[in-house]
Amino acid sequence: MANLKNVTKKTKAQAMGMHSEVLTGRTQQKFFNPDEAENFYYFGTYDVDFNKRTDLDVKNMTAAEANKELDNLMSQGYGTIVIKNPQGKHSLGVGILNKLNLIFEGSLGYFGMGSSDGPIVRINGRVGWSCAENLMAGKVVIEKNAGSCFGAAIRGGDLICKGSVGARTGIDMKGGTIIIGGDAGAFTGFMMQRGRIIILGDVGINLGDSMYDGTIFVGGEIGSYGSDAVDSELTQSDQDWLRRKLRVAEIGENFDVSKMKKIVAGKKLWNYDNLEPAEKKGAI
């Protein structure tokens, strides 16, 4: 595990409660060097033209066939693709690593839009479990409800559900923003490490259980708080950010953000100062 140290000088993000630690370990130094980002290349990405549009009817396709055809269309430069008749199929739209304007005319099953980095997606239906898991960047908007594990382990991007979501929303998330227009189930924000979750409706039991960091904003009632989840003061900076975010997400128009509750990690469960067992041995 990378070393984590509290810092006294706060950045703007830290002032807003997004996170309060800096990563100083080898992983951070090796893989997240901004100077090297210019040289980074994703295999299997395409330069697409948003003005080049096509439809794809996946009614009689398997998920693998549909995803392969989607890849084929992107390779031809199509930047706006409308998927017809998804009919609750699993794993549609996974692994898209370039910019793309993708529209689903219907509902998705499990793992829809998983492991994506960059696309702008609108789903005119419902999504099943683990929608947009591991999202790195981009925007995914769901017009109806979503299943459990919504936005599990996302690193970035905006994930918006205009309806209600199941349990464990934002579990293990490490960045990005999840916005819920309706209610959310139990264990929302379970073990989240960074990022923000906004819930305009009610939320179930064990909210933010064992969260390391990050922030959860709730507009309605809270079933119960999880271990180490505590209330925090909603600042003016938070309210400005919430208004802007909701406006961009086209959700919660006229919602009074000043009455929202802000939940953060109490950090009583933190033990980052303890050495890993292997490192302890070395020290001895």
Partner 1 sequence: MCGIAGLIHRGKSSNVGHELQGMLQALKHRGEDSTGYALYGDTDGKNFIMRFKVGENVGEGSTSVAEDVSVYDERKKIVDSYLAEMGAKIIKEERILPYSLRYEIEYNKKDLLEFSQKIESIPGVEILSMGKSLEVIKDLGNAKMVCDRYNLDKLVGTHAIGHARMATESGVDIKSAHPFWGYPFSDVSVVHNGQLTNYWNNRRALENKGMRFMSECDSELIAVYLAEKMRDGASLEEGMKESLTGLDGVFTYFVATKDSLGMAKDTMAAKPLVLYESDDLVAMGSEEIAIRSILPQEIDTYDPFDGEVKVWQI
Interface residues toward partner 1, by CB under 8 A:
87-90, 105-107, 109-110, 125-126, 128-129, 144-148, 163-168, 183, 185-187, 204-205
The encoded tokens of residue 8 equal: 């006294």
Tell me the closest approach of the beta carbon of residue 126 to partner 1, in angstroms: 5
Nearest 5°: CA angle at 20, between 39 and 148? 80
Query: Looking at beta carbons only, is 88 or 95 nearer to partner 1?
Result: 88
CB of 107 to partner 1, least distance (A): 6
Looking at beta carbons only, is 177 or 206 nearer to partner 1? 206
- Using the minimum distance from each CB to partner 1, give the nearer residue, 115 or 164: 164
Three-class secondary structure of residue 246 per DSSP:
helix
CA distance 206 to 80: 40
Shortest distance, CB of residue 59 to partner 1, whole angstroms? 8
- Per DSSP, what are the bridge partners of residue 231? 263
Give the nearest distance from C-beta 190 to partner 1 in angstroms. Answer: 11
Considering the complex, state which of residue 160 and residue 167 has its C-beta at the smaller distance from partner 1.
167
DSSP bridge pairs for 224: none
Q: Which is nearer to partner 1, 46 or 111 (CB)?
A: 111
Indicate the burial class of 101 (C-beta count within 10 angstroms; 0-12, 13-18, 19 or more).
Answer: middle
CB of 251 to partner 1, least distance (A): 18
Query: Of 6 and 87, which has the nearer Cβ to partner 1?
Result: 87
What is the side-by-side order of every strand in the sheet holding 174-180? 49-57, 78-84, 101-105, 117-123, 137-142, 158-161, 174-180, 194-199, 215-218, 261-265, 229-232
**CA-wise closest residue to 143 among 170, 116, 122:** 122
CA distance 160 to 144: 10
> Closest approach of Cβ 91 to partner 1, in Å?
12
Which CB atom, from 45 or from 85, has the smaller least distance to partner 1? 85
Do 163 and 182 meet the contact criterion of CB atoms below 8 Å apart? yes
End-to-end CA distance of the chain: 19
> Is there a contact between 140 and 131 (Cβ–Cβ < 8 Å)?
yes
Element (H, E) at 216: strand 215-218
- Provide, rounded to whole angstroms, the least separation between the CB of residue 128 and partner 1: 6
CB of 260 to partner 1, least distance (A): 21
Nearer to partner 1, 110 or 241 (CB): 110
